[in-house]
Amino acid sequence: ESPTIVETHDYGTLPVISENYYLISPFIDPSVTVGRTYYDYQGNEEEQQNSLTVQNDTYYQNTGIDYVKEEVFDVVAIADGTVSLVKDDDVVGKIVEIEHKNGLISIYQSLGEVSVKKGDMVTQGQMIGKSGINEMEKELGNHLHFEIYENGQSSNPTNYLNKEYKKEN
């Protein structure tokens, strides 16, 4: 009987591709403050009151965070991604939407200027535009309205920003 030959290959150790990444704030300027918080269904009544927007006598629950500063400030990408939408809206101002890995989408509204176009690859911290004003939240003055969606669901940006994002399976 002839011996069976088994081929073996030593490929060494393969690097594990991490699904985790760190998300930064959508601005660099430390003097930018929160003007309106995300409407959290589990939040207390006072927090919920502070996260309502009024437009044409109708109250809307804030689906993001509004960052304010009297002067215009730079708006940056929270993580690497691809610009999936650039739009000018009469009510919420200029909009940039960025798709990140793991089903995460960041949306930047109320921009006064946009410096990216649909299809652009952006890197974390890259300037994508400047804050501005819009019709929906004009009482806030110059600001950025920022939203995060995970797998199509609106999510509280506070749970993501300045933290490591770990995809939940």
In the chain, DSSP finds a helix count (H) and a strand count (E) of 1, 14
In the predicted structure, residue 15 carries a pLDDT above the cut 60: no
23's enclosing H/E stretch is strand 21-23
158's enclosing H/E stretch is none
- Measured over the CA atoms of residue 38, residue 111, residue 133 and residue 35, the dihedral's sign is positive
Q: What is the pLDDT of residues 49-78, one digit of tens each?
A: 666 666 566 666 678 999 999 999 999 999
Question: What is the C-alpha separation between 53 and 66, in angstroms, rounded?
Answer: 11
Q: What is the pLDDT of residues 24-48, one digit of tens each?
A: 999 999 999 999 888 676 667 766 6
In the predicted structure, residue 146 carries a pLDDT above the cut 80: yes
